Every structure is written in C-alpha cells, then in structure tokens.
Structure 1
C-alpha cells in the first residue's frame, strides 16, 4: 500500500484496508498487532458520502474485513469495534442490523466476546429528527455499541490501567475505615476488608461517557486552512484512549482499519504505542495530518 505519511511511531496507509499485507506491517515493526480498534462506516439503510454499505451486503463486507485482519492480530490481542445504531427508513423503528453485524463477526470469525460496552455521547444532537424533534414519539438516540472481542477468552488486559478517581463517599470510607459490613439481601456477605483497601482508584464500568466536541480544534483549524473536508463521524479521544490503556502496553502496535481523521493514531502516538492506520479517502488522510501539527499565526508547524 502507499504510505500517506509517517510519524516516529506510526504509518498512515492510503488504500483499501484489505490490501494491507504483512510486509506493510513490517515497515513499522516485525511484531504483530496487539489491538485492532476501529469504527467502520455505520450500517445505514441509505448511503452516505463516507462510504457505508447497507443491509446484508454490509454484514458480509464487515465480516470479510475482520476475517482478513485476524492475520495481523496476536493470539492474546484484542479487536474493539464500534458499530453505530441504525433506523428503518421512514419508520420510527430501530434496525437490528448493527447487532446482527456484531454477532456475525463473533460467530463467523470464531471470536470470543470479552465484554460489551456502550459509548454514551453526552453531546449527541437529538435524532432521528423526524421522530424525536418533529413528531415527539421517540427520545434522543445517544449511545452506540462497542464490542471487545478476541481470539482467546483471556487476551491481555489490565483494568488497573484505567481506574477512575474514587467518589467522595469512597474517599471518606477509606479515611474513616468504617463500613456497614454484613449479609446483604442478595445473600452476599460483605466484610470490612472488602471495601476498605486502597487500590488507587475505582474500577470503571462498561458505560463510557464522552462528548465528541472540543478535542479536535487543531484538526478542524488545519482542515479549514487547507480547504479540506472534515470527517463527518469523528470520535472523542477518550474512547480509544480507554481501550489502548487497558489492553496494550507501551511499544505495542495499534491498528485502525478505518482511520478517517486518525483519532486512534494520534492517541496511540501520545501514549507511546506504535500505530498503523488505513483509509481509502485521501482527503480525510490529508486532513488527519492536522492532528500532528500546530497552527501558529497562520503557519503549519510540525510536531
């Protein structure tokens, strides 16, 4: 594949993601990929300009892409894939196509579902507009599914890398060292030592909250300066950052087959991971270079 640009840690390839070869990967490292993190074009019932397919064609295509990419993934590596929601055309009815696609990937590629997540987009605009804003018969659709899959039930993972700050009540418990121990209605027996040990933070849940606003200002300014089209489905950094931290170590390779504006590559770069990205749309690739530059007084300054 053609190299669009490189950084010290990564390579952005221009072309169809199923044209990537082991030889291309070796242009970055002799190692295999530890994490495939991606958000493919959503399975919509009508086509949009960023290249989505629809119906059974979408399922077959996505399964084929994932199956092809398994050759690059380590045996203890992970695939994390976000598939957005879809609605039936002209109806206030959600499509099951996204879930069908995820199930097809799991079953046909012989993968294990380690855990399912949802990304709650706190800044999502109300939609679908016809049913939410106009007729007011549905509520805002503001989350998408993210599935963590792997070749083995026990891929490399460590939730201690993504601990959250303790709540104020937990901080008080740790300080006072007093807890209402005993048997709960669920018949679980809780002793004082269960919750009064300092672990450095709270274990996060599988509901990830992040707004897709704010972080990409430099990218947006770069695209504006060069008259480049913004990618229409950008992801906030918090989502890839969570999985990169939890499922990989410094020096590991992260691969995003549908790079778009290259949020994944930028976050991986900042976390001292190596990265490989592929993207078919050259304009999106050109715009993504703005994530690795600084705009000062109208000039482009490389990092």
Structure 2
C-alpha cells in the first residue's frame, strides 16, 4: 500500500515504467461527486468532472490489453435543488470518449442497498418530494471489446425450481408470448449453477427468497457483524472509513475478471478492502491512499486469521 496522491504517483516516470500495460484489473470506488466536502476528500461540480475524465489516459496506460477497469460511483444532485445531476453520466461519457485513451463501457451493474440512509435528506425526509436514492452504478470498462472474463467462475447456486427441473429432465418448451422460442433441451444440462445477473442486492429484496450469491462471494453486506475488520475497529475504538467499497463486489469482479497471480490495483484504497480481497484470492495487488489514518487502520485487515493463520506452538515433551 502506497501513501500519496494516486493520480500524481501513477503518472510518475518510475511507476509508469514498472506498471505500464501490466495491470489486469483496476477496481475502485473513487470519491463520489457530492455537494458537501467529506473527510476522505472529494471534489465537486466542474472540478470533479475534469478530475474524473483526466483519469482515462492514466488508467488506460496501466491496463494490460485484456485488462479491465471497474468503477463504483453514486448519483449526485444539483445544489439546493430537488433535481438529479447528470454529472456522473458526463463523467462516464468523458472517460470512455477521451481522445487519447482506448476505453469503452463493457457492461453496467447496479448495486442496490435497501438499508441506505434516506438521501438526499432535504428532498426525501424534510420536504418529502423525492424517493430514497438507494443504489450505485458499477461500470465495467476495458481497452478491448473482449477483455479477460469468465462468467462460469461466478455462478450462483441454482434456484429450487431449477434444481427440480434438472431432476425431472423435462419442462414446458416452445414459443412464449414474448415470441422467444425455448428449445426442448436448452435447460436440461447441469452447468453447476446459474449465470450471475448485473444487479447486486446488498440485502435480499424478498425475505422468503433464498439469497443466491456466487460461490466465491461470502456476503454483499457491509454491515456484517462477523466482519473481522469492523469487530477490531470497535474493540480499538477506531472509526472505520465511511465509504468502504463492498467486499462482495470486489470478490465478484476479482474472480470474474482475473486469474490467480494477476495484478489488481486500487488507486483510492481507503481502508484497503481491495488489497485484502486480492490477498485472499491469491492475486498480486497495489493500493494507494492519501490519508495516513486510513492506511493505519487498513493494517487491521491483514491481521485477519483468514490471511495470517495463528502459528502453531509445538511442545517438546522431552525437555
């Protein structure tokens, strides 16, 4: 983990020489384009747009030809108006249309969080003019139309109905009202699970429905009480980084878009969830963070027994 301004450091001659074309996945949640300044640092308005679009040539130069860039970003609102801003869309368009880069949007994912606090508060809880802004965008971007990817590595467990169908080896095939034609054997082969969707539920939308997470993802919840990092932060009376990227998202994209030994980079590391997930999955990683306090608390993650199992003490009974 490197302390400093990632954008400046990643353009330095030494870093470019060592990393150019070698990064297999850049995954990050940059400071969101909020109207109010946060402790972790964020630009606003036109400054944010210019800063964000300026990341395109930096990231493009670092990525390998088959590498991917995954960015999570939230919505923003016009200052003092109940009107949603187009800033995040302008940022996306500016990023993929940058004249000196080769980036293109491969697919958009939506990350829905039903426990998110009512936002924007002025127009949701005070004046009650708008509904709760409860999701973030996750953009999968790459230099090639065919970046490294394998959706068979992030399969979800089959639903109960699909398991029954596989047991029976029959179903109602034929033409549907939508005019789609379902073949007679298209759903009879067991592939080990169903293909993941581009919609992530941080908590289940339906309590009666089983949560079917990809096999490599333990949880999408950022408030998991069993989380080692959060438990240790409470014990040490440390306030954790307020905008941690979701572990489940990172685990999903690391498994989906990289292989063991590949290099993963997070330019806005915060408390270094990316480094932790990369370490767990046997990927090489580099994270950057400008705030020393977040770097210090990130060390807690690497005391997790999942990464550093306690050493066994061997007794020598002959002494």
TM-score, with structure 1 as normaliser: 0.87
2:300 pairs with one of 278, 284, 290: 290
Instruction: Output the CA distance in 1 between the equivalents of 2:225 and 2:92.
Output: 29
Q: Are 1:253 and 2:253 counterparts?
A: no
Aligned to 2:150: 158
SS in 2 for 1:88: coil
Aligned to 2:67: 77
Aligned to 2:83: 93
Q: Are 1:274 and 2:284 counterparts?
A: yes
Are 1:37 and 1:256, in contact at CA under 8 Å, matched by a contact in 2? yes
Instruction: Output the CA distance in 2 between the equivalents of 1:55 and 1:157.
Output: 34
Are 1:215 and 1:236, in contact at CA under 8 Å, matched by a contact in 2? no
2:176 pairs with one of 156, 160, 184: 184
Structure 2 regions of 5+ residues with no counterpart? 203-220, 312-319
Deviates more, 1:281-290 or 1:87-96: 87-96
RMSD: 2.4
- CA displacement, residues 99-145 of structure 1 (integer Å, 9 cap, x when unaligned): 11111111113311110111112321222222222332222111011
Are 1:116 and 1:206, in contact at CA under 8 Å, matched by a contact in 2? yes
Are 2:21 and 2:63, in contact at CA under 8 Å, matched by a contact in 1? no
Distance 1:32 1:258, change over 3 A: same
SS in 1 for 2:57: helix
Instruction: Output the CA distance in 1 between the equivalents of 2:183 and 2:20.
Output: 49
Instruction: Output the CA distance in 2 between the equivalents of 1:107 and 1:40.
Output: 19
Name the structure with the higher strand share.
Answer: 1
Aligned to 2:217: none
1:193-272 → structure 2 map (5 Å cutoff): 193-210=185-202, 211-214=221-224, 217-224=227-234, 228-272=238-282
Are 1:25 and 1:276, in contact at CA under 8 Å, matched by a contact in 2? no
After TM superposition, give the deviation of residue 227 of structure 1 in Å: 5.6
Aligned to 1:8: none
After TM superposition, give the deviation of residue 212 of structure 1 in Å: 2.1
SS in 2 for 1:144: strand
Are 1:229 and 1:283, in contact at CA under 8 Å, matched by a contact in 2? no
Are 2:260 and 2:281, in contact at CA under 8 Å, matched by a contact in 1? yes
Distance 1:147 1:294, change over 3 A: closer
**What is the number of equivalent residue pairs in this alignment?**
287
Q: Are 1:14 and 2:8 counterparts?
A: no
Structure 1 regions of 5+ residues with no counterpart? 1-11, 296-300
SS in 1 for 2:27: strand
Q: Are 1:58 and 2:68 counterparts?
A: no
- CA displacement, residues 63-121 of structure 1 (integer Å, 9 cap, x when unaligned): 22232132221011000011111112222221111111111111113311110111112
Deviates more, 1:65-74 or 1:261-270: 65-74
Deviates more, 1:95-104 or 1:142-151: 95-104
After TM superposition, give the deviation of residue 22 of structure 1 in Å: 7.0
Instruction: Output the CA distance in 2 between the equivalents of 1:251 and 1:142.
Output: 35
Are 2:20 and 2:62, in contact at CA under 8 Å, matched by a contact in 1? no
After TM superposition, give the deviation of residue 181 of structure 1 in Å: 0.8
